[in-house]
Chain A
Amino acid sequence: MSSVKVLGSGCANCRRLEKLTEEALADLGRTETVEHVTDYAEIAAHGVMTTPALVVDGEVVLAGRIPAPAALRRALAERLPAPA
């Protein structure tokens, strides 16, 4: 199973990205859960300077914006490996 994280300060936008990511994962039939990272040291360790950011398996997929649901689904589908 892949790791899916939303990095953010817990702000409204960050919670929205978290919700959209959960919905996108459900649409794709994935079982991954979304982890919400609010620890600034960990956010910085990812090299992220604008929140919210989406990190899949340690790779920053997007930062500082909330994508449209379709674009988010595409980005996730591209990065998540097919389930074993």
Chain B
Amino acid sequence: MSAVAAPPRVRTRVPLTAAAALAAAVGLYFALGPFWEWTLFRLAGLPRDARYADAIHFFCFDTTKILALLVGIVFIVRVLRSFLSVERTRALLGGRREGLGNVAAAGLGVATPFCSCSAVPAFIGFVAAGVPLGVTLSFLIASPMVNEVAVVLLYGLFGFEIAALYVASGLLIAIVAGAFLGRLRLERYIEPFVLEAAANAGAAGSVEARPSWSERFELGREEVRSILGRIWPYLLAGIALGAVIHGWVPSDFFARYAGRGNPLAVPFAVVLGVPLYSNAAGVLPLVEALHAKGLAMGTLLAFMMSVVALSLPEMILLRRVLRPQLLACFVAVVAGGIVATGFLFNAIL
């Protein structure tokens, strides 16, 4: 790609603008708590002890807080990820053996700019480059599960410990599930058209030649626009539902029915999460509200992992490349890993 050289003035102005915008966003983020406190309870005079006031405060504060976090982090993460591409990741994973390959694939699944909507062409590309099946699956599990939106929102709503535990267990599930599925030697259950397409696959284009800094920032802006455009209905629905739960559900309601003591809570949460098509931004406000009402953290994290990693639309996409037997194994192994994680967290948190 022949990049037109940017005039030098732009090159210094772009990072400066980005830095200023970032500083403004951080300032706004920390001003949000006092701002809504003042606006709703002082200015609008909402009664502090009314349920509806509590729900309104939850909705306003969470919406703005999550939006601010998302814009900042999605931008930064996309700029950082511009140093990698699916093409480069494939080159790094090609010819890797299982084991270490699974570890590398899970890590790259987090670091590579990748949307699950590209699961089919990426799968074909990986097969074409000789990436082992189990290693490819590690990549495809880690990528949606440990996504920046989920991690950042967990950090923003629950703190560092929970976010770190989520990342570690997400990576572990991706590594172990991929390695295990690789061991089962299920290559014969890949759809035949994949092998044919892989044999005729073209070499990766030179599209992703080294982008300039202003191109990286442009990628960040595009990503913010694209992600927010896609997830805002889920975000608002999740926060609205969370606000209702926050205001009206009795505080020990879930502790009584789905607390730590109930061994069926985790598997039930995982099964419930599969048909729910949402994303981390839509699920987390709900998780926050449910947690406040006594639902155990392990159960909630399992629910969230199931929503983001085992969504029905993604299964439908994977079905294009995996025959039903292999897809069933995939779902069973990943679901098993998520359930185990849920139990573990309920036991230690």
Contact = CB atoms under 8 A, between A and B. Distances in A.
Contacts of A21: none
A63 B197 CA distance: 18
Contacts of B196: 41
B218 interface: yes
B124 interface: yes
Contacts of A40: 120-121, 124, 193, 197, 320
B87 A49 contact: yes
Contact of A45 (B90, B118, B120, B201): B201
A59 B1 CA distance: 10
A60 interface: yes
Interface residues of A, number: 26
B115 A50 contact: yes
Given A40-B197, A41-B200, A64-B86, A48 B121 contact: yes
A51 B118 contact: yes
Interface stretch (B163-171, B202-210, B277-285, B323-331): B202-210
Contact of A44 (B87, B90, B121, B218): B121
Nearest to A65: B222
Contacts of A12: 230
A44 B221 contact: no
Contacts of B225: 66
A43 B121 contact: yes
B114 interface: yes
- B interface secondary structure, majority: helix
Contacts of B218: 67-68, 71
Nearest to A59: B205
B200 A13 contact: no
A11 interface: yes
B193 A49 contact: no
A50 B222 contact: no
A44 B197 CA distance: 6
A9 interface: yes
Given A62-B207, A63-B208, 15 more contacts: A9-B120, A9-B317, A40-B197, A41-B193, A44-B202, A45-B197, A45-B200, A50-B115, A50-B121, A51-B117, A60-B205, A63-B205, A64-B113, A65-B219, A66-B222
- What 8 A-B pairs are tightest by C-beta distance, nearest first? A47-B202, A49-B125, A60-B205, A41-B197, A44-B197, A44-B201, A50-B118, A44-B124
26 contacts: A9-B117, A9-B120, A11-B117, A13-B115, A13-B230, A40-B193, A40-B197, A44-B201, A45-B201, A47-B205, A48-B205, A49-B86, A49-B87, A49-B118, A49-B125, A49-B204, A50-B85, A50-B121, A51-B118, A60-B205, A64-B85, A65-B219, A65-B222, A65-B226, A68-B218, A68-B221
Interface of A: 9, 11-13, 40-41, 43-51, 59-68, 71
